[in-house]
Amino acid sequence: GENVEQHPSTLSVQEGDSAVIKCTYSDSASNYFPWYKQELGKRPQLIIDIRSNVGEKKDQRIAVTLNKTAKHFSLHITETQPEDSAVYFCAASTNTGFQKLVFGTGTRLLVSP
Partner 1 sequence: SQTIHQWPATLVQPVGSPLSLECTVEGTSNPNLYWYRQAAGRGLQLLFYSVGIGQISSEVPQNLSASRPQDRQFILSSKKLLLSDSGFYLCAWSGKTARVYEQYFGPGTRLTVT
Residues that bind partner 1 (CB under 8 A): 32, 34, 36, 41-46, 49, 89, 96-101, 103-106
Minimal distance in Å, beta carbon 47 to partner 1? 11
Residues making up the chain, counted from first to last: 113
Secondary structure E strands in 8-106 = 10-14, 19-25, 32-38, 45-51, 56-59, 62-67, 72-77, 86-92, 102-103
Query: Nearer to partner 1 by C-beta: 45 or 112?
Result: 45
Considering the complex, what minimum distance in angstroms separates the CB of residue 79 from partner 1?
25
Nearer to partner 1, 19 or 88 (CB): 88
CA 76 – CA 22 distance, rounded (Å): 9
